[in-house]
Amino acid sequence: MAIVFMQRKKVQRNLIFIFLVVLLFIGFVVWQGFFQKGISPRQEETIKTPREEVKINFEVLKNPLLQSLQPFSDIQPFKESTTTDEKLGRENPFLPY
């Protein structure tokens, strides 16, 4: 039994060491991310690039092929039945057929 307890202590020491290393790494990343002074070179490039003007070519819509297209006819919705004999759908639509 004593061997089992010693092995658990050894595993716990290793886990504590790994946990501390991970905490130090996370702390370093947070420190570099939040407290780093200045702008990185990549950010400077994005700030200095001029924006291009967007131009939309509406002449494409005047194409004769587009002018000859016909719209679909409107689909009429189902009308409510006034008689009790005709019911739309099933009483419980989730039951299998």
pLDDT digits (tens, 9 = 90+) for 67-93: 888 888 887 776 665 555 666 678 888
- pLDDT, residue 56, reads 92
**Cβ neighbour number for residue 83 with a 10 Å cutoff:** 6
The pLDDT mean for the chain works out to: 79
pLDDT at 2 > cutoff 90: no
pLDDT at 48 > cutoff 80: no
Task: Look up the domain containing 15 and give its range.
Answer: 1-33
Residue 86 lies in a domain: no
Residue 6 lies in a domain: yes
d(CA 82, CA 12): 77
Structure tokens at 87: 């019911």
CB 88 within 8 A of CB 78: yes
Domains held by the chain: number: 1
- The residue with greater pLDDT, 14 or 6, is 14
Residue 3 lies in a domain: yes
Placement of tokens 């967007």 in the chain: 54
pLDDT at 41 > cutoff 90: no
